[in-house]
Structure 1
Amino acid sequence: MTYRERIESKLNAAFSPAELTIRDDSEKHRGHAGYRPEGETHFHVRIVSAAFDGQNRVARQRAVYRALKAELDERVHALSLETLTPAEAA
């Protein structure tokens, strides 16, 4: 299973998102810290979930980081996050 697939699976399980977009931005970071030629080190994630209702931006991002702890510990160097509620995404 790729890291992208792992991220998708874990975020679906943890947040039941109405929308989930995951983009591997690794190639944009060639020559930067954490870059690997095989990719899957830098991701952009847009997640829209009712689970974020009542949470501020920091709490939402911390929840995503907790859900993806293993991936961040193993290989993923950076996550760019958009964490929204359905009302915010509308």
Structure 2
Amino acid sequence: MKIQNEIETKLNKAFSASILQVENESHKHSVPPNSETHFKVTMVSPEFAGQMKVRRHQAIYKVLSDELEMAGGVHALALHLYSPDEWEASGQVAPSSPNCMGGSKVDA
């Protein structure tokens, strides 16, 4: 849980989030057990008010650049980023991640 903890720590430090959920979804993919390669981040922050989705994502990528760029690091990052008003309008539920449709090199 080293990478997950780093993600949580960095995002908490960089944003004033009222909600931050970081879920390791690696087990849903064709990776070795205990991997930390696929994450879903749900965050609610007033900093996102009036900001386009692409700007929100860029802000996250900047904060997590080390985790995204290191070999064996984060391979996939699902981002669900809301302003407080958007979170209320969503019913306070982030979408579920789809099941992995890819195969393993071992299966080939």
Q: Structure 1 length as normaliser, TM-score?
A: 0.89
2:53 aligns with 57
Matches within 5 A, 1:10-89: 10-30=10-30, 35-74=31-70, 75-89=73-87
Gaps of 5+ in 2: 89-108
Larger radius of gyration: 2
Per-residue deviation, 1:36: 4.2
Report which structure shows greater RCO (CA 8 Å, sep ≥6). Answer: 1
CA RMSD of aligned residues (A): 1.2
Gaps of 5+ in 1: none
C-alpha separation in 2, matches of 1:36 and 1:48: 31
What is the total number of aligned residue pairs between the two structures?
Answer: 86
Kindly indicate which of the two structures has a greater share of residues assigned to helix: 1
2:104 aligns with none
Q: Structure 2 length as normaliser, TM-score?
A: 0.75
Aligned-pair identity in percent equals: 44
